[in-house]
Amino acid sequence: LVHLTINHIPVAVPKGTKIMQAAAKIHIDIPHLCYHEDQRIKAHCRLCSVEVTGRRRLYAACSTECWEGMEVHTDTPIVRNTQIAILQLMLANHNRDCLSCPRNQNCDLQHLVSRFNILRSPLPSVVRDTQRIVTNPSIVRDPSKCIRCGRCIRACKDVQGIAALTYAHRSSDIVVTTAYDKPMEATDCVLCGQCTLVCPTGAIVERDATQRVLRALQDKSKHVIVQVAPAVRVALGDAFGLGAGAIATGQMVTALKLLGFDKVFDTNFGADLTIMEEGYEFLDRLQHGGVLPMLTSCCPAWVTYMEKEYGSSLAHLSSAKSPMGMFGAVAKTYYAEKADIPAKDIVTVAIMPCTAKKAEAQRTGLGRGGQPDIDYVLTTRELIKLIKYVGLTFRDLPESPFDSPLGEATGAGAIFGATGGVMEAALRTVVEKATGKPLDAIEFTAVRGLEGIREASLDIAGRTVRVAVCHTLKNAAKLMAAVRSGTSPYDFIEVMACPGGCAGGGGQPIGTRRVVTAQRIASLYEIDRSLPRRKSHENPEIQKLYADALDAPLSSKAHNLLHTTYQA
């Protein structure tokens, strides 16, 4: 242990601990902006400067390791004046239209300016361009809000291995932009939103659809239904003081009903349906010499990555639509018929922990007659805004169940929101179908966890099947090298673009970090354990859907409705 004092309070910390974490141990939050707990430390904003007795320069608390006998001061006049000067410089180069900023009241810069009680800025504004860049369905950039902390750049490069965002120019002219200033979607960007999750201000945010959804809800001629992704229910509570990973399914359904949705359905139902199609597709490829390894196709950032980077390997992708896509297709056909409402009068909204889902919803393969199957996608963050707008005290809401017939789901559907969940859900159905025997040991723990790449071998009806699971596109690239060259040892690979899977999705609440994602994942497995049915093929509503309208998995009807194609 290393012994030091911070503001005269003694602390003992393991060797190698940074001043920032030592201070946190005694409940002192040292201000910071470029530092993010999941990222490489850059220490370039210098906002975390502290004084050390006997030393003439200031130290960055995020990057300086504690030493024996160190006396740290976080609140001396020099420290405070430095921090205020840094903030004032940032403010001079920051578009301060806070009142109409998407991150209003949820902005690190705003919090710090408030914390330091900076009432007026003595420096004249040098903000140049205040034009927001709106070129794709998912992500909006506002360079006038950028404080050049580089967190988005590191998320894109270090997590996804993509590097669509970069610094350009030098010194006071430095900006964060894309290569040649191209629109994001015209770069290697896959719209995953990991950059939006770490941005401390409103410089890079999801494209807001809340107003359009509110208008649909107020339109009496429309029947507005909503589906909610598996990972939203374990993240939404973050914004309402429920604690990381809190399971808020029942309150969430109540909130959506109070918002005016005519029916509240579950994407987990769509996930069960995906398992039927994708699971049977895998068995079919396995038994009839189809293209292997088969790659999962439910994560839209991953699908876009495949289309942009691995165009010659698209035959490996499962043709199954994502759960969101399948849900939308069923909603505008089967459900429309059952409910006796013309599809044109049904508006489907999807709540997703994801920004890429907004772009996925606009894919031409996900619609019929020129109309999209999913009309609007809101991120978890946007749902939080809507709940706040109507003034619901979320944590006190009673619980409500999902509506029928697209609201029943199994534990297999629930775990889709965790990395490894799609594979585990698929195996629960595939193994049972292939062997014809009921599967008792349904927890495939080898594919669980947060290792970047996990693998497992299992015997399916006399054949050894090798599967792999990975999260983040940086890890996917490692597996894809072998797929492209035809040397992959695997038969089936699950890829989710975001760290931890959708639980850590780019549309989740600001403040999402790896530790929080891990708690959400634990909750998803808890939901799975708590359900009476844990295999997708045992979902009675899915069985009824096949009996009523689709015949069987992979039937031509199922193919028409539930499968899609990809384009390099």
CA–CA distance, 333 with 339 (Å, rounded to integer): 10
- Amino acid making up residue 137: P
Count of residues interacting with ligand SF4 (CB under 6 A) = 15
Per CB under 6 A, contacts with ligand HC0 among 319-348 are 322-324
**Which of ligand SF4, ligand HC0, none does residue 155 bind to, with CB < 5 to 8 Å depending on kind?**
ligand SF4
Which among ligand HC0, ligand SF4, none contacts residue 317 (Cβ within 5 to 8 A by kind)? none
Strand order in the sheet with 376-379: 263-266, 223-228, 346-352, 376-379
- In the block, residue with structure tokens 């494209």: 207
Binder among 292, 422, 426, 465 for ligand HC0 (CB under 6 A): 422
Residue 472 is encoded by which pair of tokens?
């983040």
Q: Which is nearer to ligand HC0, 151 or 357 (CB)?
A: 357
- What span, in angstroms and rounded, lies between the C-alpha atoms of 273 and 553? 9
Compute the least distance from the CB of residue 496 to ligand SF4, in Å: 13
Query: Which of 31, 245, 353, 509 is in the footprint of ligand HC0 by CB under 6 A?
Result: 353
Q: How far apart are the first and last CA of the chain?
A: 55
Find the part of the chain contacting ligand HC0 (CB under 6 A) among 48-56, 240-248, 265-273, 472-480. 265-273
Q: Closest distance between ligand HC0 and the C-beta of residue 91, in Å?
A: 35
Of 23, 107, 162, 317, the one binding ligand SF4 (CB under 6 A) is: 162
306 binds ligand SF4 (CB under 6 A): no
From ligand HC0, ligand SF4, none, which one binds at residue 505 (CB under 5 to 8 Å depending on kind)?
ligand HC0
Q: Is 379 in the site for ligand SF4 (CB under 6 A)?
A: no
Q: What is the 3-state secondary structure (H, E, C) of 495-513?
A: EECCCCHHHHCCCCCCCCC
Lookup: tokens for 384: 């939080």
Token pair recorded at residue 210? 């809340």
Q: Closer CB to ligand SF4, residue 200 or residue 270? A: 200
Name the one range near ligand SF4 by CB under 6 A: 161-169, 234-242, 317-325, 547-555: 161-169
Nearer residue to ligand SF4 within complex by CB, 72 or 190: 190
How many residues bind to ligand HC0 according to rule CB under 6 A? 22
Asked if 496 is part of the footprint of ligand SF4 (rule: CB under 6 A), the reply reads no
Q: What percent helix, strand, coil does the chain show, rounded to 5?
A: 40, 15, 40
Q: How far is the CB of 57 from ligand SF4 (least distance, A)?
A: 35
Tell which one of 299, 374, 409, 423 touches ligand HC0 (CB under 6 A): 299
Among 136, 160, 196, 267, binds ligand HC0 (CB under 6 A): 267
Return the SS3 of 326: helix
Task: Answer whether 29's CB lies under 8 Å from 97's CB.
Answer: no
Shortest spacing between CB 486 and ligand HC0, in angstroms? 27
Residue of 13, 19, 164, 283 that binds ligand SF4 (CB under 6 A): 164
Neighbours of 468 (CB within 10 A): 24
**CA 314 to the chain's CA centroid:** 24
Q: Which of 90, 226, 271, 346 lies at the binding interface for ligand HC0 (CB under 6 A)?
A: 271
Q: Smallest distance from the beta carbon of 361 to ligand SF4, in angstroms? A: 16
Residue 205 touching ligand SF4 (CB under 6 A):
no
Q: Rounded to an integer, what distance in angstroms lies between the CA atom of residue 315 and that of residue 292?
A: 9
Q: Which stretch binds ligand HC0 (CB under 6 A): 53-61, 228-236, 483-491, 559-567?
A: 228-236
> Which residue of 48, 192, 232, 456 would you call a contact of ligand SF4, by CB under 6 A?
192
Q: Which of 13, 43, 190, 414 binds ligand SF4 (CB under 6 A)?
A: 190
Dihedral of CA 190/192/194/199: which sign?
positive
Nearest-angstrom CA–CA distance, 232 and 320 = 22
Which residue pairs, CB below 8 angstroms and at least 24 apart, start in 450-455? 450/419, 450/500, 450/514, 450/518, 450/521, 453/478, 453/479, 454/420, 455/490
Interface residue with ligand HC0, options 357, 363, 381, 537 (CB under 6 A): 357
Helix axes 300-309, 473-485, angle to 10 degrees: 50
Can residue 313 be called a binding residue for ligand SF4 (CB under 6 A)?
A: no
Cα separation, 518 vs 216, whole angstroms: 35
User: What does the block give as tokens for 85?
Assistant: 């000067």
User: 66 and 59 in contact (C-beta within 8 Å)?
Assistant: no
In 3D space, the residue among 314, 294, 106 whose CA is nearest the CA of residue 196 turns out to be 106
Residues near ligand SF4 (CB under 6 A) = 139, 155-156, 160, 162, 164-165, 184, 189-195
Residues near ligand HC0 (CB under 6 A) = 229-231, 267, 270-271, 298-299, 322-324, 352-354, 357, 416-417, 422, 496, 501-502, 505
